[in-house]
Chain A
Amino acid sequence: MTLREMWRRVQYLRHRDEYADELREEMQLHVELRARKMRGQAVAGAEFAARRQFGNPTLLAEASAGAWGWGAWERLAQDLRHCFRALRKTPAFTIVAVVTLALGLGINSAVFSVVNAVMLRGLPYPDPARLVQFWGLFLNPPPGFVSPEARFGGPARTNNLSAPAFVEFQRGASNFLDLAAFTRSPHNLTGIGKPAQVWGESVTTGFFSLLGANAAQGRVFLSEDERAGAGPVAILSYAFWQRRLGGDAAVLERSIVLDGQPYRVIGVLPPDFQSPGQIAEADSSEYFLARPYQDSDLKNYGSRFLIVLGRLKPGVSLLRAQAEIDAIGARLEGYSGSKRGFRTMVAPLQDDLVRHVGRSLFALLGASALIVLITCGNVANLLLVRAIARHHETSVRFALGASRFRVVRQFLMESLVVAFTGSVVGLSLGDVLLRLLIAIAPAEIPRIHSVSMDWRVFVVSAALATLTGILFGLAPAWRASRTRPAASLRSTKQPGGDPNQARWRSGLTIAEVALSMMLLVGAGLLIKSFVRLAGVDLGFQPGHVLAMSVNLPDASYRTPEKRLQFFQELEQRTRNLPGVQSVAFANRMPLRGGWSTGVTLVRPADEIYVGTDGQAVSPGYFATVGIVLLRGRLITEADGIEQERVAVVNQEFARKYLKDIDPIGREVYWNKQTPLKIVGVVNDIRRAGKDAPIRTELYVSAAQADLYPVRLGDFAIRTTGDPRLLKSAIQAQVWAIDPDQPVTSVKTFDQIIDDDLSGRWFDTLLLVIFAGVAVGIAVIGVFGVLQYSVSQRTPEFGIRIALGAQRSGIHALVFRQAGRLILAGVAIGLAGAFVMTRFLESMLFEVPRHDLWTYIAAAALLAAVSATAAAVPARRGASVDPIVALRYE
């Protein structure tokens, strides 16, 4: 085909109607001229003869148009027009199908995008599969052990290793390209704006090369930076450089002051760099310092504070690496002389980062997959019904000479148009949902803010839905294409579809009901958990309390006494502020972490080593937090450094360790020199939050500062009014004592509790929405099938009524059919829920996953809703006018 020929074809396409008119005129002239000539020859019926000799002008016109080579396209466009007309004529079908698809696809792609970004997409480092983290496993954990990760109880493991262990592993591990260690902690930043507490990491020099990161400006650490004589240097995050230094071009000539110590800036990291330590955290790491440990740490095997990462050599399996680590570990065990077994494990870094959220995200993913299944089921059902309802039309088209290809293509096109529209609407819905999801998601989900719509996800689910549509749209069309049109045309009756198809429809409806039943049970269990949790009594009075952290840097507050002094002065200064009822300081306030320890308890018959929470508290602590004295006395101002060492325990401590023994007067000690006498018993609290168990508590006097190794850091006030109003007044008092001292994590107890619940709220809300959508779709399914079946059976109902059947009987007939579908669906769904809620178990709070009442309530709800959906077709069936109905035949 030459270019010019192509041009002529395109010209034709642009002026199609003109061409057709011209051709018609030409042919008209031809026939007229022929007729005139025939008349001249006296042919009888000249005009008719001329026309007969000319042939069928319509066919000729079509053939002429066909010469331009656009025929196939025109037929396609024709089919498309027909398809849109057909869809417009059945708005109910179109809307339901499109909305169902859009909901299913939108929800699924939004949720999957989150899961994918958080868990499936690799870590933002080159070759992330070879990155591992080191774990310490306590083989014989002390009683009451609390690991830092699993907040309560949980596996006795820690992600912290000691400095000598790290050095040994780094020296001995030949299966690793390198090992790196880091610690993450906040420092007080001064000299740039107001003093602020900023998080940063101290890393070994190989840290950045291990992660495959390089500096955007300047350089990363070299091994010289770690040498003893080297001046302190820092690498800044891109955010630090931009926000705190205003993108200063001369950043590499500046220094920053952290805890009073200046650090020379040697590099700035690229904007997208995220260290593993900050990924699951709210505060990002803004600077990196060299040397995470001191030389003095290298002798202490028991002090574990380093997080250790490693990069495996290519081709090295985790098992081989573990074997090597075990060998080195066995040697270490000898040095440390520890009596409790400690085993170092390596695990993929990815596993660690998502462990908090993995469970709940997988549950949500499962739920959204169920939604897609329901969606597909519903669309299949709708198309099936539609195809059967159009059996007659298909027959007519065949009778008029349509090719099988055209008819099948027609159905195919309708399925595709529905699928396409549904996908487009679903895509925009998914985008909105995703934004909503990110907005309401708890901050603890790592990388949540970098989540964007994942195209692959959307394409896959859209393809799935389309395929379903095609399959179920085509099967009936194909079948119809093989029926003889004559048979179908002879009867005006609505064809019933064969029993096979009826079975399919029922099966699909039952499946929809069953799937939504499972989601409903899941949602019910979560709601119940949430209600339970919200109603938990903390044991103290969280209202009207504002807590904050005042982390005093070592540089200016080297000793416990100095820190105590600072807090005592702050207490003095704030105690009499207007609106303040009481003030308190401690190492940590409830809900804000704490100290787990172990003490030796002296009982009349023996001495036992017991694990317990330990808190160093000021005398005002109990009144401020709202803890009640049950026996003995509280810690008072008099319990100073010169006096007898005292402790207060909670009921749980007394119950667990001092059964049938009067706790007052008992002694506990960390070391023999300073035994503490128990002087009082207070009530139990859930220190770590509503979903935390009650734990044993040991309170010591903060003033007896030689007793405890933890640092005083938290300050709290109880007020008569809104405690947040006093925030700046307290800040001012802190600065009056030390102008370089920042106050951080200022939050009311109520805020902390709300934040704690928000994660559960997120999961619960999502599952409830999912369940709602699922039930909605399933109800549409039930309604559709019944409505269709009623319209099929209209003549039958007519006859029944004509023969004297009661309308209520017809009503019951339809309901029986509905009942069978619903009951089957509910039963299967309950069985499914019984199995599937296993994946929900970790998200439940004090609700067994087979909670009977939840199952009953969910089943009743679903049955009631679907029965309501059945009422409309039932009424329609019962109100059939026998005369009209019989006229159908």
Chain B
Amino acid sequence: MERDSFVTKLCAALEFPAGSLTEKSPLNSEAWDSVDLLNVISLIDEDLGVTVSGDDLKRCRTVGDLLTFLEGQQAAR
């Protein structure tokens, strides 16, 4: 997985200004509504071929945590 590229797509999906998310940024997914959750889950599903749940996302504290979790899921396939 190209980490920088995915962070850029995540930023767009969450409608944040370009470049405003880094791996150290808190994911803060508890504050997301259902549209945000489904948007990010859809992005992950199509872009990385990994199916995650909202609970999986809520366990990730930072963007970097999410990337590491997703890499682990890809490796486990």
Chain B binds chain A: no
Residues of B within 8 A of A (CB): none
